């Protein structure tokens, strides 16, 4: 659970290293009712204090395990990291991205998982044809190029535990605070991959299965854990945004101003001349005789 009442965080992780798989064939498998991809080193997560965590597993949950302000999302991808620097060997960190369904969208990272050919209860392992670049996960298709790190993003963080066995505690959890989009077809295929397949009895009747195993742990209580919110910065300064294409324009307008002169002598200001009180007050009328109230 992620509260809407949050504090600014000063512990800033830097996702700097390239997330890639090796040239060896990757496999996605259905293990313990979860779609999982394992590899010794997908890439690195580096924190500001120099701790380095190696990404070793990608886990897919449908629906999401984390909620934001009580809202559950359609899917969540968790990237599990293990500490590899001295003093951090026994520590773990997870980087989590939430997805919500939207028509006609593509996510470059999900496309590489070849979701039209996912494993299932009958064939629990499948090869992944393409390299897996976690860097692509928060990029638009047109922005994916020679990327070497994740795009800066806002996130929540707290001290938690793994959501499935061995349920390791003291796990640093990062949750991207802005959900990503997943196409309707892709979402359905990820959901169907864990569904028990339809069966046929000895008479040829099809027994339709609508049972799908739980792939997301129910939201747990915070139990006093503080949750922090981080907005990415560049050397302590806000990340520079793209230039605003807006601009200013000017239109010259001719206006008439009326002002009151407290005597019978004209002010002598350029282009000013005496008018009647009715005209000055918007009532029309003829000029007043000299010697009376003077409006210029």
Q: Which of 215, 28, 211 is nearest to 119 (CA)?
A: 28
Instruction: Give the model's pLDDT for residue 9.
Output: 30
Q: Which of 79, 61, 52 is nearest to 193 (CA)?
A: 61
CATH of 7-238, one of 3.30.1130.10, 3.10.200.10, 3.40.50.150, 3.30.2090.10: 3.10.200.10
Indicate the burial class of 288 (C-beta count within 10 angstroms; 0-12, 13-18, 19 or more): middle
Instruction: Give the model's pLDDT for residue 76.
Output: 94
* Residues near 212 by beta carbon (within 8 Å), at least 6 away in sequence: 191, 194, 195, 196
Write the CA distances from 188 to 58, 61, 191, integer angstroms.
Answer: 19, 12, 5
- So where are the chain's domains? 7-238, 251-296
Rounded Cα distance, 91 and 288, in Å:
92
Instruction: Give the model's pLDDT for residue 207.
Output: 67
Write the CA distances from 50 to 12, 124, 160, integer angstroms.
Answer: 11, 38, 21
Q: 49 is written with which tokens?
A: 């204090």
Instruction: Give the model's pLDDT for residue 236.
Output: 46
Instruction: Give the model's pLDDT for residue 186.
Output: 93
Backbone angles phi, psi at 35, to 5 degrees: -80, 120
The answer to whether the beta carbons of residues 217 and 65 sit under 8 Å apart is yes
Neighbours of 239 (CB within 10 A): 10
* Mean pLDDT split into 10-residue runs, the chain, 296 residues: 34 43 70 86 78 88 90 92 82 91 89 88 84 80 61 84 70 90 92 78 70 68 78 56 64 76 80 83 61 51
Rounded Cα distance, 155 and 231, in Å:
7
The H or E element containing residue 109 is: helix 108-112
């Amino acid at each position: 659970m992620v509260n809407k009442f949050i504090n600014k965080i000063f512990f800033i992780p830097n996702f700097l290293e390239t997330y890639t798989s090796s040239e060896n064939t990757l496999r996605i498998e259905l293990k313990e009712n979860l779609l999982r991809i394992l590899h010794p080193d997908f890439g690195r997560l580096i924190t500001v204090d120099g701790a380095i965590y190696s990404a070793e597993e990608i886990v897919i949950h449908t629906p999401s395990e984390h909620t934001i302000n009580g809202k559950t999302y359609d899917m969540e991808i968790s990237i599990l990291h293990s500490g590899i620097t001295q003093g951090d060997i026994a520590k773990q960190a997870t980087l989590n991205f939430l997805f919500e369904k939207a028509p006609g969208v593509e996510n470059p990272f999900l496309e590489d998982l070849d979701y039209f050919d996912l494993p299932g209860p009958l064939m629990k392992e499948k090869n992944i044809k393409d390299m897996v670049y976690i860097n692509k996960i928060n990029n638009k298709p047109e922005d994916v190029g020679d990327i070497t790190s994740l795009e800066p993003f806002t996130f929540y963080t707290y001290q938690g535990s793994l959501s499935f066995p061995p349920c390791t505690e003291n796990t640093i959890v990062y949750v991207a605070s802005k959900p990503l989009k997943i196409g309707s077809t892709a979402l359905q295929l990820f959901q169907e991959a864990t569904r028990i397949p339809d069966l046929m009895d000895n008479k040829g009747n099809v027994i339709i299965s609508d049972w799908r195993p739980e792939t997301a742990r129910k939201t747990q209580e915070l139990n006093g854990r503080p949750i922090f919110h981080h907005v990415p910065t560049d050397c302590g300064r806000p990340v520079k945004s793209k230039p605003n294409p807006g601009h200013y324009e000017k239109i010259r307008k001719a206006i008439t101003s009326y002002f009151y002169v407290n005597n019978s002598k004209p002010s002598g200001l350029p282009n000013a001349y005496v008018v009647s009180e009715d005209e000055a007050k918007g009532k029309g009328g003829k000029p007043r005789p000299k010697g009376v109230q003077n409006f210029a």
